[in-house]
């Protein structure tokens, strides 16, 4: 067996390690962008002890200042909201819900959402606020 000793420079670059790194970064980016709670931008009420309540697979029910209801970022009527939450709860019995009510929304609309959650035995819930300055 003969060993070849070539001191010739390589003509091509091995891009496999670079592609591996690119795929890992892509997966990390996808996971990080989908892990946060989605929703509609609202003006949250302010409290002294505001904390982040987001858990993995938390659904956000948002009520804007006009009283429109959204599940994550999608508009929904109360009947559609109940139907979707029942579907989510059937796949995840420990479903967490965060209610993001605009500071100017009528309290009755928030109570309507809370009653819907209680009627469907969704008890792991939170109310989103921002920290008062």
Look up the CATH number of the domain holding residue 58: 3.30.420.270
**Is residue 24 domain-resident?**
no
What's the pLDDT tens digit per position in 50-107? 555 455 578 889 898 888 999 988 899 999 999 999 998 988 888 889 998 888 888 8
Residue 51 lies in a domain: yes
Residues in the chain: 133
Q: Is 94 part of a structural domain of the chain?
A: yes
Spell out the residues 6+ positions from residue 82 whose beta carbon is closer than 8 angstroms to its own: 116, 119, 120
pLDDT band for 119, please (50, 70, 90 cuts).
very high
Average pLDDT over residues 22-43: 73
The answer to the question of residue 114 being in a domain is: yes
**What average pLDDT score do residues 31-49 get?**
64
Domain count, the chain: 1
Q: What span, in angstroms and rounded, lies between the C-alpha atoms of 84 and 95?
A: 12
What per-residue confidence (pLDDT) applies to 115?
Answer: 93
Q: Which residue range forms the structural domain that includes residue 51?
A: 37-131
Domain-embedded: residue 32? no
pLDDT score recorded for residue 36: 55
Would you state the pLDDT for residue 78? 92
State residue 80's pLDDT score: 93
Query: Residue 101: inside a domain, yes or no?
Result: yes
Q: Are 42 and 80 in contact (CB under 8 A)?
A: no
The residues pairing with 47 across neighbouring beta strands, listed in sequence order, are 131
């Amino acid at each position: 067996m003969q060993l070849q000793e070539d001191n010739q420079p390589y003509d091509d670059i091995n891009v496999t390690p670079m592609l591996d790194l690119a795929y890992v970064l892509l997966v990390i980016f996808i996971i990080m962008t989908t892990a946060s709670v989605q929703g509609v931008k609202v003006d949250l009420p302010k409290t002294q002890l505001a904390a982040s309540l987001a858990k993995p697979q938390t659904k956000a029910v948002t009520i804007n200042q006009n009283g429109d209801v959204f599940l994550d970022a999608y508009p929904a009527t109360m009947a559609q909201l109940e139907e979707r939450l029942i579907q989510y709860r059937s796949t995840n019995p420990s479903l967490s819900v965060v209610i993001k009510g605009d500071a100017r929304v009528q309290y009755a609309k928030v109570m309507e959402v809370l009653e819907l959650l209680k009627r469907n035995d969704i008890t792991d819930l939170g109310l989103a606020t921002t920290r008062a300055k």
